[in-house]
Amino acid sequence: MRRAGTALLAACTAVAALTTVTATPARAQADGPRDAGLRHCAGTAPVVCHFDVTPGTYRVRVLLGGGQGAGSTSVTAETRRAVLAETRNAPGETLRRGFTVDVRDPEGEPTGATGSPGLDLTFGGAAPRLAGLRVERVRTPQILLAGDSTVCDQAGEPYTGWGQQLPQYLTDRVTVANHADSGEGSQSFRDNPALFPALRSRIRHGDLVLVQLAHNDKQTDRDTYRANLTAMIEDVRAEGGRPVLVTPVVRRWFNADGTLDNGTALLVNGLGVDLPAEVRALASEQGTGLVDLTALTKARVEELGPEGSKALYLYDEKRDNTHTSVRGATEYAALVLAELRDQRLLASREVR
């Protein structure tokens, strides 16, 4: 398995705007004059924008910069999803950027709070500069995510799932639809109509479906675990999708010699089932894509060591060695992205 590089994330000074598109329940339509986009925004640092649109996929094109000072702008959408990493502009310089947002209800975890309807964007960063904004409803290839709390769109800081950070690495030619949900194992994710059945109904031909379920399979026997994953693989393929199995992120539990514990840290469950090993074997047997995130995160955590790796998790904030911080989720999303790119599961035009 190739090592992926670590990736870290390093409005309103309005001078002009692009035409903004909003949506009615029937269709998308133009929303008036040239400055209409910024009319949906308020504040300066951050700038918060709201568009009263129905659920669907939306392409957002922004013009950053302008004005007298230098700018440094990042963008999040909906439930704290990172859709554009910190982007700097020189004084007077303007930059065009684009990304897509999956607008749905609930907007975060499928079994979580409803959130606000429509599309919400937050332009933050060290010095946000938003000069123009356009929103239009589109249809793009999708990356659909099935997973647990280490993957999901976490509503409350400081918790952050790697799926929440993945969109910032992608262009506006592909959309991340994160259906991961806290507390779910392979059985509960399959059984709940709001989870895998809802995800399955959205699959279109060629879509990637990434499945990372293991953390909550603490007492799942080997045969049941394999049967659950196999059923999801078959269902994804039946809809024309491309299943990709993802081994779980490690827990931060060290041995005295600075290596990770072979049980708890590496997801061997209470019945002695080595869950990542079963995922690897099943991917080989079924001929699916595999992102060995267990191996990748193990290497990264052991590289940083017992002290340095605390920053990847919520150890300082919550004494939590399972759930990731913004930094950890961002790094782990970059590892996933690198594997998808290197295995040519994503087209070059879909990656920033």
Rounded to an integer, the average pLDDT of 159-165 is 98
- 67 confidence band (pLDDT: 50, 70, 90): confident
DSSP string, 83-146: EEEEEEE-TT-EEEEEEEEEE-SSSSSTTS----SSEEEEEEEEE--EEEEEEEE----EEEEE
Helix axes 293-308, 326-342, angle to 10 degrees: 150
Q: Give the mean pLDDT of the chain.
A: 91
Rounded to an integer, the average pLDDT of 259-285 is 98
Q: Say whether pLDDT at 12 is over 50.
A: no
What pLDDT sits at residue 15?
27
- Please answer whether residues 79 and 179 qualify as being in contact, where contact means their C-beta atoms are separated by less than 8 angstroms: no
- 68 confidence band (pLDDT: 50, 70, 90): confident
User: Closest Cα partner for 74 from 50, 53, 95?
Assistant: 95
Q: Say whether pLDDT at 25 is over 50.
A: no
Which residue is associated with the tokens 């080989």?
284
> Is residue 146 classed exposed, middle or buried when 0-12, 13-18 and 19+ CB atoms within 10 A define those classes?
buried
**Dist. CA 30–CA 27, nearest whole Å:** 10
Task: Report the DSSP beta bridge partners of residue 58.
Answer: 101, 137
- Which DSSP category does 268 fall into? B
- Please answer whether residues 33 and 9 qualify as being in contact, where contact means their C-beta atoms are separated by less than 8 angstroms: no
Summarised one tens digit per residue, pLDDT across range 230-267 is: 999 999 999 999 999 999 999 999 999 999 999 999 99
**Dist. CA 185–CA 346, nearest whole Å:** 27
Summarised one tens digit per residue, pLDDT across range 294-306 is: 999 999 999 999 9
User: Closest Cα partner for 13 from 38, 31, 37?
Assistant: 38
28-37, 75-84, 156-165, 284-293: least confident range: 28-37
Q: Which domains does the chain have, with CATH numbers?
A: 21-137 (2.60.120), 142-350 (3.40.50.1110)
Rounded to an integer, the average pLDDT of 271-297 is 98
Whole-prediction pTM: 0.90
